[in-house]
Amino acid sequence: MTQGNLRSEGRWVRSFRASALALPVGALPLAAGWGSGSYGQPPEGVSTVALGVHWIMDWLVPLCVASVLAFGTAGTGLDRRVAASGVFDLRILWWRTHWVVLLGSIVACGSCAYSLARMSGEPLQALLAPGLVGVLFSFLVANVVVSRFAASPGVALATVASVTGVVVIGPYLTSFAGVLAIDPTLSNWMRGVPDRGFVFSPGSITWVGIGVIAVALARLFPSDVAWLPWIAVEGADDDWI
Amino acid sequence: MIGFDKVDKYFQSHSALRQVDFELGAGIVALLGRNGAGKSTLLSILAGLAAESAGTVRLDGKELGRSRRALRAATTLLPQDLRVDPKISARALVRYLLKLRRRPLGGLDELFAVFGLSDVCDRPLGSLSGGTRQRVGLVYVFAADTPVLLLDEPTQGLDPWERLRFTEHLARVAAGRLVVYSTHVVADVEAIAERVLVLDQGGLVHDGSPQDLLARTPPVWVTDGDQEVASSLGSRVLVTAVKRIGDDSYRLRWLGERLYGDARPVEPSLSDAYIAVTGGQA
């Protein structure tokens, strides 16, 4: 049954879109390739496997979480016209109604870091910290895109994955933006420097800070859901507007 | 209770509401208009879910600023196509909605009984018919018990018995509160509305009692004719009803001029009046 039919029958699935969980499957070949050390030329003294697991935790995991959250949570939830009349703001409701998925993402990130650390010999915190920062950033982007702009699943997926991708990949690939990298260790290695960096970088603080500010701005401007454009449009199915 | 002063609403370049002015106090108000007239947009603004592009909205005499929390707290909207989780029961849904709005949960069983839902209120909503789900929405609205109730085509999908039950209950609970409901069913308006607002292409073309609306109606004529008369009439005047009364014989009803000598004048109905003020364009 199509979503349109569900709508016309007055039925609507409220829960998280489980098919989103299939999205990370597409990333498995990359993960397998990097995990086996077939990517990149690390500086002297750094193994290709160590480089690969940093790539996986620094951008593949956040990007997978961003895709799952954006596609899985877009357009779901209780009828917005009814939910918006509740005591809780819709943008707060996104966190409340998807807390299982958010918690699951954090657990998945932690499990991934643990298993990759065991496999590669990298310190756990060196993989876990940038992974969690990237995942947290993807939460914040998904919240803004899905609950503030109410994007459709496809648009949400593309937007959240693009923004997250630029932030978690861009600084490693551009020589001048190294300071904005979430994982300073990987940033050093990408520039041929074998040193490790501190697990929490200025880049981590900057991006999480920007994400939190964006969420706060989305909550405050417009200050009231009545000023969002989508509720009335959605509520006018009978009308052609 | 709620006032609109020269309210406009635009969606990009499209004008959904134009210079709408009214003051709504306690009572039952019917909102009539064709598809695309702006009824749902007007209800969304009344519900605090959408903001006007221009003009002013007042609640209890106080001009509303950017925040519409007070308006949302005072109103309960039943959308035309309430989207629900098909897996949960009607009782669970209504309880959830009331909790979400921090409204009291008492009296639900009585309301389920009033709307004939006592036997099905614990079944999954996905297994219920459209009309039954519509009644579940009505239970939510009446259980929310706010000073303003906004119903977007509440009788859609209801059979005549269910409509009767709805209008009886509405008349009972309307005292002291404002009920605005949009509808295409003119019979509902005749039965309970004290005031009628008619929207046409975003503009308010009538605001008054059903009697005021009837008084505005041009003369109404009835005659019997064949298929040829029926087809030619539509291009000359505003036809309000065509009823087949035999083989190639129709009873025709129209507004305006007396086109045939055997046509007889009749009292206008609310349906005639509605068609007259909305212009009758296809």
DSSP per residue, chain B: -EEEEEEEEEETTEEEEEEEEEEE-SEEEEEEE-TTSSHHHHHHHHTTSS--SEEEEEETTEEP-S--HHHHHHEEEE-TT--B-TTSBHHHHHHHHHHHTT---TTHHHHHHHTT-TTTTTSBGGGS-HHHHHHHHHHHHHHH--SEEEEESTTTT--HHHHHHHHHHHHHH-TTSEEEEE-S-HHHHHHH-SEEEEEETTEEEEEE-HHHHHHTPPPEEEEEE-HHHHHHHHHHSEEEEEEEEETTEEEEEEESS--STT-EEEPPPHHHHHHHHTTT--
Q: How far apart are CA A31 and CA B166, in angstroms?
A: 60
Stretches in chain A below the pLDDT threshold 50: 1-13, 234-241
User: What distance in Å separates the CA atoms of residue A15 and residue A24, rounded to the nearest whole number?
Assistant: 20
Contacts of A227 in chain B (CB under 8 A): 51, 66
pLDDT of residue A13: 44
Rounded alpha-carbon distances, angstroms, from residue B214 to B136, B181, B210, B274 = 34, 20, 6, 8
- Which residues, 6+ apart, have CB-to-CB distance to B158 below 8 Å? B131, B134, B135, B166
Cβ proximity of B39 and A231 under 8 Å? no
Separation between Cα atoms, residue A145 and residue A62, nearest integer Å: 16
Query: What does the pLDDT read at residue B76?
Result: 93
- According to the model, what pLDDT value does residue A232 have? 52
pLDDT value of position A12? 45
**Crossing angle of helices A124-143 and A202-220, rounded to 10°:** 20
At B54 the pLDDT is: 94
Please name the amino acid found at residue A71. F
Query: Which residues of chain A have a CB within 8 Å of the CB of B125?
Result: 11
Q: Which of B34, B36, B29, B35 is nearest to B46 (CA)?
A: B29
Per-residue pLDDT of chain B (282 residues; tens, 9 = 90+): 899 999 999 887 788 899 999 999 999 999 998 888 888 899 999 999 889 999 999 999 999 988 898 999 999 999 877 777 778 899 998 998 888 888 888 889 999 999 889 999 999 888 888 888 889 999 999 999 999 999 988 888 788 888 888 888 888 888 889 999 998 778 778 878 889 999 998 999 999 998 998 998 889 999 888 888 888 887 888 888 888 888 888 898 998 888 888 889 999 888 888 888 887 543
Nearest Cα residue in chain A from B102: A87
Write down the pLDDT at residue A62.
Answer: 95
CA torsion, ordered A59, A61, A63, A64, to nearest 10 deg: 160
pLDDT for residue A70: 93
Residue B54 in contact with partner chain A when CB distance is under 8 A? no
Residue of A nearest to B9 (CA): A232
What pLDDT, on the 0 to 100 scale, is given for residue A63? 93
Strand partners, B195: B29
What is the DSSP pairing of strand B178-182 with strand B27-33?
Answer: parallel
Q: What are the DSSP calls for B168-210, one per residue?
A: HHHHHH-TTSEEEEE-S-HHHHHHH-SEEEEEETTEEEEEE-H
Scan residues 18-47 of B and list those with Cβ closer than 8 Å to A.
35-41, 43-45, 47
Angle between helices A90-97 and A99-120 (to 10 degrees): 50
Strand partners, B32: B198
Partner-chain contact A79 B101, CB within 8 Å: no
Between positions 108 and 167 of B, the ones with CB within 8 A of A are: 125-126, 130, 133-134, 152-153
Predicted complex: ipTM over 0.85: no
Is residue B16 less than 8 Å (CB to CB) from chain A? Answer: yes
Rounded Cα distance between A232 and B17, Å, is: 12
Q: Nearest CA of chain B to the CA of A18: how many Å? A: 15
Taking any CB pair shorter than 8 Å as contact, residues of chain A touching chain B are 6-15, 78-79, 81-88, 222-227, 229, 231-233, 235-241
Instruction: Please count the other Cβ atoms lying within 10 Å of the Cβ belonging to residue A227.
Output: 14
